[in-house]
Amino acid sequence: MKIYHSLDSFHKLEYAVVTSGTFDGVHIGHKKILSRLNELSMQSGGESVVLTFWPHPRMVVSEDSQELQLLSTIDEKIELFSQLGIQHLGIIPFTRAFSELSSEEFIQQVLVDKIGTKKLVIGYDHRFGRNREGSFEFLKKNCSSYGFEVEEIPREDIEDLAISSTRIRKALLTGHILEANDLLGRPYTISGTIVKGKQLGRTIGFPTANLHPHESYKLIPQNGVYVIRATYNNQVFNGMLNIGVRPTVDGTLRTIEANLFDFDKEIYGEDLRLELLHYLRPEQKFDGLPALINQINLDRESAVKYFSGLNN
């Protein structure tokens, strides 16, 4: 997959089959659009192109931009697009000036002049241009004058399960990790750097890797204990994860602490990727360390049983 971080670096294609959007989460609804994009590019002998925007438009134009939580970082999206067989990925820097482009200017300047669009694939109710004024109806009425065809993925094909990034965010924030993973079509991931914590875990027999996410806007799910799979240095480990403030030991700061099974290395400053597989329980305050240790042992037993079930 070729990646372009600006429109100026994109060389106009002879036959581009294009879709555009923010694609937060690259969930199964998005995958239907991308699958159709690949299908059309193969049928026509053209090349598939995804145009996405970074920063996320709401980070630039919305008053609540500081509160925005996203399902995927730009690096995660790049990886997912590559896995799905996209040939060209254009990452358009989203600025206030760019947000002022009218729908006609976006079509002519970006889709036609820069990309060489011959087929455009969009999801139902997709909007583009200043104030989201552009629509499928506008495209269908005017696409012949721009020299390309347009196809809309029907609502029933994308929202048969009411798939949306908003629904996935809500599921994650309420502990419904299985629902979120079903809608994503894969486990939700959090990647970050391992930093030093208070190292309490090792004193009670459960050493943890304290994860600092790579990006502050990455959505962190509801506090609680999760079954996870972790990737470190291309090796995969089963484990469990606590997200929360550790009330039993009078914690105040929210932490993300992973206990990896059969793993005893110190990896401060190194990267770790977590896949959240199952939600075990909410975070709770126990009457002292013995009660906490007993519960952690039960959590581990539950996690081991979960993985045993996967292997049967």
Q: Which residues are catalytic?
A: 257
Contacts of 31 (CB under 8 A, 6+ apart): 84, 185
CB 260 within 8 A of CB 201: no
CB 128 within 8 A of CB 134: yes
As a whole number of Å, the end-to-end CA separation of the chain is 37
Give the integer Cα–Cα distance in Å for 269 and 277.
25
Q: Which among 158, 160, 178 has a CA at the least distance from the CA of 168?
A: 178
Give the integer Cα–Cα distance in Å for 238 and 229.
5
Q: Other C-beta atoms within 10 Å of 99: how many?
A: 14
